[in-house]
Amino acid sequence: MRISLPLLLSFLFLSLVVQGLDPKCDTPDQGSTLKVLHVYSPCSPFRPPKPLSWEESVLQMLAEDQARLQFLSSLVAKKSIVPIASGRQITQSPTYIVRTQIGTPPQTMLMAMDTSNDAAWVPCAGCLGCSSAVFTSAKSTTFKNLGCQDPQCKQVPNPTCGGSACAFNLTYGSSSIAANLSQDTFTLAADAVPGYTFGCILKATGNSLPPQGLLGLGRGPLSLLSQTQNLYQSTFSYCLPNFRSLNFSGSLRLGPIGQPKNIKYTPLLKNPRRSSLYYVNMVAIRVGRKIVDIPPSALAFNPTTGAGTIIDSGTVFTRLVLPAYTAVRDEFRRRIARTSGNAAVSSLGGFDTCYSVPIVAPTIGFMFPGMNVTLPQDNLLIHSTAGSITCLAMAAAPDNVNSVLNVIANMQQQNHRFLFDVPNSRLGVARERCT
Ligand SMILES: *[C@@H]1O[C@H](CO)[C@@H](O)[C@H](O)[C@H]1NC(C)=O
Ligand SMILES: *[C@@H]1O[C@H](CO)[C@@H](O)[C@H](O)[C@H]1NC(C)=O
Ligand SMILES: *[C@@H]1O[C@H](CO)[C@@H](O)[C@H](O)[C@H]1NC(C)=O
Ligand SMILES: *[C@@H]1O[C@H](CO)[C@@H](O)[C@H](O)[C@H]1NC(C)=O
């Protein structure tokens, strides 16, 4: 049974009004495993107050992706790119949130997880331009601001040392923040991490900031991985739930304990110019059984230009550089034409391969050394119930950025466990129902 997003959201909204918060939301995270919620989940305070139509929600997510891709391209190019002008409100760039507790006594924050960023930052009391719940540092007995002499101050971009405090500015998507570099205890599930270094946001502009902060899962300086090396040994995995599912119980499992044993791996590649991103070597793409014809340069890893393929938790729909996308899409359309009686192709927003009759879609497989990831329909198609439109949920990289990067995004990761084993420099992927 398929449930449309608007129907689902209105159902959830009603049930919240009637029953209060889903009791599942209040259960504490156990061990070293955090529940992962989609921002539209019933437990999430960030779900749209008024349900969006299917078209609206799809277009909104695509628009958010556009800002995200610009941001990722700017990371790759190591230069800032002027944010795209858009009439649309760009909100909530990353899609999945986890519950963290900061300070003593603990204050709960629902932070966005982001595999393409290193640092953590949180809106602090008194912040100008922050939109939601803030962390009140004055109420925590373990909070402290770091000074310019502290070694961590050398790890933030462009630190400024007004007085003795270490402060910094950074841009994220189309937003910018000004923050103090601070430390406090972060409690992740049952694990307390004393003296966690993070940015305490004092001023924010723009609207692509996650409202309760960001937890960077990259592998550069100041990331969760580098600050918890002894505890978690730079190993984590996640299973992202599908936002259409009623259960919404994905998980972020930190550390080597409890990770899957039977899992296929491919090497992680390191771009020294951009150490936080998780690059992999995608060598080919299969549509059904057929390996499509893609010029090798569209897939090749190049640390100088930043080209290649990354795994990103914050982008919703996979983007391929134009020649790769065209090859995949054309073969996909050929297959549909053959199996679904030449159904007419239409477009919706940035999606160019949509159908208004039922279709039988081929699988799409991403091929890596040591590992093939074959995606079923659930990871490939988005459906509306009302208009019975079905679209291939991928797109070409936007043409207004200097696109060299293929981004394997979260819709294509849903219901799989992605295991980041940084000490052994490998990524594992296994099917898992996390809805
Ligand atoms: C940030 O640092 C400045 C300079 O030391 C200090 O005056 C201010 O109170 C700090 N803000 C917070 C929220 O800690
Ligand atoms: C950082 O941002 C603050 C607040 O917007 C601003 O006053 C300050 O000049 C900025 N610092 C730098 C180095 O850009
Ligand atoms: C998800 O919800 C369905 C329907 O409520 C239930 O049957 C199923 O057991 C749940 N799955 C998990 C993993 O909790
Ligand atoms: C991936 O698929 C290709 C082509 O079908 C096959 O040759 C290769 O052995 C597969 N790799 C793995 C690790 O299964």
Give per-residue pLDDT as tens, 53-109: 777 777 777 777 877 777 777 666 554 333 332 323 333 356 788 999 999 999 999
The CA 97 to ligand 3 mean position distance, Å, reads 21
Q: What is the pLDDT confidence band of residue 305, given thresholds at 50, 70 and 90?
A: confident
Contact predicate 64/148, CB 8 Å: no
Residues 6+ apart with CB under 8 A from 378: 242, 414, 415
Question: Which one has a higher pLDDT value, 398 or 260?
Answer: 260
Of 87, 35, 116, 133, the residue nearest 314 (C-alpha): 116
d(CA 301, CA 351): 26
Contact predicate 88/285, CB 8 Å: no
Smallest CA separation from ligand 4 atom 10, residue = 372
Closest ligand to 163 CA? 1
Kindly give the number of the ligand 2 atom that is closest to the alpha carbon of 205. Answer: 5
The CA 373 to ligand 4 mean position distance, Å, reads 10
**Poorest-pLDDT segment among 267-281, 292-306, 398-412:** 398-412
Whether the predicted pLDDT of 46 surpasses 70: yes
**167-172 and 175-188 strand pairing:** antiparallel
Q: What is the pLDDT confidence band of residue 143, given thresholds at 50, 70 and 90?
A: very high
The CA 180 to ligand 1 mean position distance, Å, reads 6
431 lines ligand 2 (CB under 6 A): no
Smallest CA separation from ligand 4 atom 1, residue = 372
pTM of the predicted protein model: 0.87
The CA 208 to ligand 2 mean position distance, Å, reads 19
Which of 367, 371, 373 best tests ligand 4's pocket when mutated (most atoms within 8 Å of CB)?
367
Active site residue 312: yes
Whether the predicted pLDDT of 10 surpasses 90: no
Q: What are the pLDDT digits (tens) for 193-232?
A: 999 999 999 999 987 788 899 999 998 889 999 999 999 9
Where do the domains of the chain lie? 19-51+92-254, 264-431
Sheet holding 290-291, edge to edge: 290-291, 284-287, 364-368, 371-375
d(CA 83, CA 267): 33
Smallest CA separation from ligand 1 atom 13, residue = 124
Contact predicate 38/46, CB 8 Å: no
Report the amino acid identity of residue 333. R
Dihedrals φ, ψ of 77, to 5°? -80, -10
- Give me the pLDDT at residue 64, please: 75
- Structure tokens, 373: 């990831």
Smallest CA separation from ligand 3 atom 1, residue = 247
Q: For the chain, how big is the Rg over CA atoms in Å?
A: 21
Dihedrals φ, ψ of 155, to 5°? -95, -5
Report the amino acid identity of residue 376. P
Q: What are the pLDDT digits (tens) for 98-136?
A: 999 999 999 999 999 999 889 999 999 999 999 778 999
Smallest CA separation from ligand 1 atom 3, residue = 165
Q: What is the pLDDT confidence band of residue 247, given thresholds at 50, 70 and 90?
A: low
According to CATH, the superfamily of the domain at 19-51+92-254 is Acid Proteases (2.40.70.10)
Closest ligand to 144 CA? 1
Q: What is the pLDDT confidence band of residue 353, given thresholds at 50, 70 and 90?
A: very high
d(CA 34, CA 254): 8
Say whether 264-431 and 19-51+92-254 share the same fold: yes
285 lines ligand 4 (CB under 6 A): no
Whether the predicted pLDDT of 7 surpasses 80: no
Question: What count of residues does the chain have?
Answer: 435
Report the amino acid identity of residue 11. F
Which of 180, 197, 198 best tests ligand 1's pocket when mutated (most atoms within 8 Å of CB)?
180
Say which of 29, 65, 184, 312 is annotated catalytic.
Answer: 312
- Structure tokens, 330: 């054309």
Q: What are the pLDDT digits (tens) for 156-199?
A: 888 888 777 899 998 887 788 999 999 999 999 999 999 999 99
Contact predicate 397/403, CB 8 Å: yes
- Give me the pLDDT at residue 183, please: 98
CATH architecture label of 264-431: Beta Barrel (2.40)
Report the amino acid identity of residue 54. W
- Residue 53, phi-psi category: left (phi > 0), alpha (psi -120 to 50), beta (remainder): beta
Residue 428 CB-half CA count within 13 A:
22
d(CA 435, CA 249): 6
370 lines ligand 4 (CB under 6 A): yes
Task: Give percent above pLDDT 70 in the chain.
Answer: 85
Smallest CA separation from ligand 1 atom 10, residue = 180
- Give me the pLDDT at residue 400, please: 57
**121-128 and 191-205 strand pairing:** parallel
- What spatial distance separates the first Cα and last Cα of the chain, rounded to whole Å? 14
The count of other CB atoms within 10 Å of the CB of residue 431 is 14
**308-311 and 405-408 strand pairing:** parallel
- Mean pLDDT score of the chain: 84
58 lines ligand 1 (CB under 6 A): no
